[in-house]
Chain A
Amino acid sequence: MTKNLRVKSSKLVDETYRISFKFNGTTYYGFKGDTLASALLANNIHLVGRSFKYHRPRGIMTAGSEEPNAIVQLHNGTSRTEPNVRATEIEIYEGLVATSQNCWPSVKFDIGGINNFLSPLLPAGFYYKTFMWPASFWEKYEYFIRKSAGLGKSPDVPDPDIYEHKYIHCDVLVIGAGISGLIAAKTAAKSGFKTLLVEEKSYLGGSTIYQDSEFFKINNQNSASWLEKEINEVKKIENLEIKTRTSVAAFHGYNFLLARENLTDHLPLEQRENKTRQRLLKIRAKKVITATGSIERPLIFDNNDRPGILLSSAIKKYADLFGVACGEKNILFTNNDSVYETAISLIQKGIKVQAIIDNREEIDSKLIKETEKNNIKIYKGYSIVDTFGYKRINSVSIMKLSKDGQKVIGSKENISCDSLGISGGWTPAVHLFTQSGGKLKFRDDDQVFIPNTYPSNQISIGSCNGDFTLDEILINTPKLLKEFLNIKKTEYENIEIYSAFNKSKRNIWLLPSNKIVGKTKSFVDFQNDATAKDIKLALREGFRSIEHVKRYTTTGMGTDQGKLGNMHALGIISETASSKMGELGTTTFRPPYTPLTFGTIVGRNVGKYFDIIRKTPIHEWHIENKAEFENVGQWKRAWYYPQNGENMHEAVQRESKAARDSAGILDASTLGKIDIQGTDASEFLNRVYTNAWSKLEIGKCRYGLMLNEDGMVYDDGVTTRLDENHYIMTTTTGGAATVLGKLEDYLQTEWPELDVYLTSVTDHYATISVCGPNSKKIIQKVIPEIDLSDKDFPHMSFKNSKIGKVKCRVMRISFTGEQSYEINIQANYAKSVWENCIEAGKEFNITPYGTETMHLLRAEKGFIIAGQDTDATMTPIDLQMDWIVSKKKFDFIGKRSLYRSDTIREDRKQLVGLITDNPEEILEEGAQIVADMNKTPIEMLGHVTSSYFSPNLKKSIALGVVKGGKNMMGQKLIIPMEKKQINVTVTDPVFLDKENKRLNA
């Protein structure tokens, strides 16, 4: 049944440029300038998809971004596939491949269509009601729901396209290039404002650009011709930038807007290589002018969703702009004058209008007279009560409306057709305005919500502000612009306007039927299959808030956010509940206005650019020596160094043994380092650490714990006194930024009187840690001039020294329990010093070790790792670290919280050691700890925080937190696992060298 429904030359398509494309496997032809929708309609294809719930056949309904039905999958099965593309927006190109969504096995024969006949069983809230019970059946329900529903398929291979982000700053942003937007952009730019005009379509001029009849005139020219001249002028203005195919997705506070600029989606695939596909524009505008137009309302009657039923304005647009007839026997159905504009356009192009059904009884306007002159039958005071035709509409039933519009009367009459255009009036597109925080008011005259109060420096103009007719727009827009831009004059003051449009309207939200509501399918939300019946049911079941009704019936929850039917939903609720429209409020419109691709959202931040990667200056050596790496925050840290095919366990056992038996070397450069100077530095440390600092001698190091004000440990590290008023603090790798931030906070806000200066020097110094019984010998070889004798350089002390000519700091501190030295040196010398250490350590089998071995060695000593053995609920007392909490100090951060009623409880979770009965059994970190398996419910006492096999102790060791653990030494506990129970004994957390003999070995 292929017909050619092209009528005659049109505004937008180039009939000399033929394009082939595929839809559901068949090749079709269209012209350059066509959208997929206009090209399909030209091939007489209306049926493009199935509805979400009932799987009813659905056709193209609109000609814009408000489309609920015609959503397709592009290039299915390829890397460029994209679901949920509106056929009304995508421009065709050679090689385009589109398929219908939401139907299986095919759009013409769809298994889910059976839901349509089961629909009495699928009322509002059906999913909530039915699939709730029994809970164990949920998995089965989900399988079927997912298989038969779902909107499109996401790609399963990486996106080959390039996306980017761009910041734009302008004086005035104009959204929408219809007649109002163009007037605004021209006026603003010519008044000296740096102006940006964005338009979601590929062309400028909105609907006026094809308003080409003697019934709409500006200065004695057809409005379309007048506007074309304006556009030519606008394009020449220097400080005006115009971006087409650019859709504003979000309008945030303070005039910050996000827009998607489409750069290649209209090009054949082979022309897209190496080009940016889409750009996310981050626009900060001093002033915003919203001119987003309006969306035609459908009418709500029984079976108003059949393929072939379109908005009347869409039929006009397809004819005027694309030269496509939506049918050969058109019926138009309306409650206002708009369809007569459509009728005149169709007549001009030789497309047959079968009849017009108008809700209004008494009507009279020049448009109507002209229509009648062409012998088109107008049924005044009539309404459609039903439609027929499964995959395409073939006729309608009409009946007379009663005077009050509450019911239909008289006898039914059938009229055949192949296309039905409907118009329920217009709804201002206030979505962006409300996103920005704008508040609406309800205008009773024509039942529309229009902008009322603006939250930022912005205005709405044109039909999105409720000015629907040409004369209203041309009179009100210049007035609004003068005030908003603070200018004296516009070019549009003495303009002659002629508009034949009569504003009379007979608004009936839900048209009456000869059937009871329960027997009708009058669709309000076409994409989500919500009907008037569903909304009424929700009200009967007690829902009153519009937000609740929305969720219960899923009205407005599709990818189109209910752009067509939300107003009717509100109208039906207010009529049924006898509340006033203006008092009911509206649902919230959320960004994005139209869906965004993930590519646009992430821009260039993909792959290796996803996040910052921080590398130590010794990183290259670790790579050359085959290290495996671990991510610690943004840092890449050497994790372990496998040799000869070792797995991680084998490598870590070897490294750990070597570090205790002879010598190990660790790159500790990632530890946070904060340089602290000032006459109050000691006092400052007293206040931020739990222990005392005033008496620390110059040249000595001390370990400290930091608490939050609530008494919980959040970081730890060693701080060294370099001079009277100079310290260097180390923090954990992950905590560095937080610690600096907190210290700055207290200094600036609580203790501004303290003379203290903080500087982050983490990246400036590298830290090389050499540990083990032979560490002293190795350091001596690397730094011959330094005196390393225990007397002159004991544990927890520091010396300035030099390696060659390069200054360095050497600390004798230990995180492993072994004798250990740390060399801190300017970062760019670090790799060569590291290599010196390796060379000097060769005779002692110096072994590089990574973070895993470091963790194992410190666990043997029972040293905590803040963030692994602690979370935000552990006090120093819970950690059995009472020794580090000063009793003498007057105050420090967190002190008062250590004796709150909650923190002094005996049964808090406390850090303990755990030894497995079977020394070979290694516990899982995170595993739960219980005492009594027979209690119901089983009481969880705590969990395992660190667990390793210790090669030095030749047994499994673990740390864990256990309720009341301090008083459970020697007690047996159970670690229940999926398939077994592991028996453990509670011990002291220090497993090795309790006497600290090894530090001076």
Chain B
Amino acid sequence: MFLINCPFCGEREQSEFKAGGEAHIVRPKQPTELSDDQWAEYLFMRKNIKGIQFERWNHIHGCRKWFNMVRDTSNDEIKAVYKMGEKPPVK
């Protein structure tokens, strides 16, 4: 079980958090102008990376804030956490 450093609360048990899928997928500003394929790209297509992955997490049983995480899925190492809207601190 991870120890997650919530950017608002500090280090807490993973059981306080909810994973929310891939990060940095921006909702299109004008969905009506997109083709079916373009909309499907936003709606369904997600990466499943072995290695460095950018993820959304929610401190659901804590401050309820959403934030981003950089995690190496091959060994579960959390490289960084950062607030929504911020640029990832690592590549």
List residues of A whose CB falls within 8 A of some B CB: 252-254, 256, 284, 437, 455, 709-710, 741, 744-745, 748-750, 752, 890-891, 895-897, 900-901
Contacts and interface: CB of A to CB of B under 8 A. Distances in A.
Nearest to B38: A896
20 contacts: A252-B1, A254-B3, A256-B1, A284-B3, A437-B76, A455-B77, A741-B58, A741-B60, A744-B64, A748-B65, A750-B26, A890-B32, A891-B30, A891-B31, A895-B31, A895-B32, A897-B39, A897-B43, A900-B36, A900-B39
B40 interface: yes
B20 interface: yes
B84 A752 contact: yes
Interface in B36-91: 36, 39-40, 43, 56, 58, 60, 64-66, 75-77, 84-85
Interface in B1-51: 1-3, 13, 20, 26-27, 30-32, 34, 36, 39-40, 43
Nearest to B64: A744
B66 A896 contact: no
Contacts of B31: 891, 895-896
A171 to B, nearest CB: 15
B66 A745 contact: yes
B75 A896 contact: no
Given A895-B32, A901-B36, A750 B1 contact: no
Contacts of B66: 744-745, 748-749
A252 B1 CA distance: 6
B2 A709 contact: no
Contact of A750 (B2, B27, B40): B27
B19 to A, nearest CB: 13
B58 A745 contact: yes
A745 B2 contact: no
B75 A455 contact: yes
Contacts of B56: 749
Nearest to B2: A254
Nearest to A751: B27
Contacts of B60: 741
Contacts of B84: 748-749, 752
A710 B2 contact: no
A750 B2 CA distance: 27
Contacts of B64: 744
A891 to B, nearest CB: 6
A749 B25 CA distance: 10
A253 B56 CA distance: 20
A896 B34 contact: yes
B1 A254 contact: yes
A456 to B, nearest CB: 9
B37 to A, nearest CB: 10
B6 to A, nearest CB: 13
Contacts of B65: 748
B40 A900 contact: yes
A901 B37 CA distance: 10
A748 B27 CA distance: 13
Given A741-B60, A744-B64, A891-B32, A709 B1 contact: no
A896 B56 CA distance: 23
B21 to A, nearest CB: 11
A901 B2 CA distance: 41
A896 B38 CA distance: 11
B34 to A, nearest CB: 7
Nearest to B83: A748
Contacts of A750: 26-27
A752 B67 CA distance: 13
B1 A710 contact: no
Nearest to A453: B75
Contacts of B2: 253-254
B76 A253 contact: yes
Nearest to B60: A741
A748 B23 CA distance: 13
B85 A752 contact: yes
Contacts of B75: 437, 455
Contacts of B58: 741, 745
Contacts of A901: 36
A9 B53 CA distance: 62
Nearest to B30: A891
Given A891-B30, A891-B32, A895-B32, 5 more contacts: A253-B1, A709-B27, A710-B43, A745-B58, A896-B39
A365 to B, nearest CB: 43
B15 to A, nearest CB: 10
Contacts of A437: 75-76
Nearest to A254: B3
A415 to B, nearest CB: 53
A891 B34 CA distance: 12
A437 B77 CA distance: 11
* Centre residue among A284, A749, A752, A901 by max chain B CB count within 10 A: A749
A748 B83 CA distance: 10
The 4 residue pairs across chains A and B that have the minimum distance between CB atoms:
A896-B31, A256-B1, A748-B66, A254-B3
A788 to B, nearest CB: 40
Contacts of A890: 32
A897 B31 CA distance: 9
A891 B77 CA distance: 39
A547 to B, nearest CB: 18
Given A253-B2, A741-B60, A900-B36, A709 B43 contact: yes
Contacts of A744: 64, 66
A53 to B, nearest CB: 37
A767 B40 CA distance: 41
Nearest to B20: A745
A262 B23 CA distance: 44
Nearest to A901: B36
Contacts of A252: 1
Contact of A896 (B13, B20, B32, B85): B32
A278 to B, nearest CB: 21
Contacts of A253: 1-2, 76
Contacts of A710: 43
Nearest to A892: B31
A254 B11 CA distance: 12
Nearest to A256: B1
A455 B27 CA distance: 36
A744 B76 CA distance: 27
A891 B39 CA distance: 14
A985 to B, nearest CB: 37
A66 to B, nearest CB: 27
A900 B20 CA distance: 25
A260 B33 CA distance: 59
A749 B3 CA distance: 23
B39 to A, nearest CB: 5
B49 to A, nearest CB: 18
Nearest to B76: A253
Contacts of B26: 750
B44 to A, nearest CB: 8
Contacts of A749: 56, 66, 84
A748 B86 CA distance: 13
A467 B84 CA distance: 49
* Centre residue among A744, A891, A896 by max chain B CB count within 10 A: A896
B60 to A, nearest CB: 7
Contacts of A895: 31-32
Contacts of B77: 455
A744 B3 CA distance: 24
Contacts of A900: 36, 39-40
Nearest to A746: B27
A741 B65 CA distance: 10
Contacts of A284: 3, 13
Contacts of B32: 890-891, 895-896
B61 to A, nearest CB: 11
A315 B64 CA distance: 59
Contacts of A745: 20, 58, 66
Nearest to B1: A256
B43 to A, nearest CB: 6
Contacts of A897: 39, 43
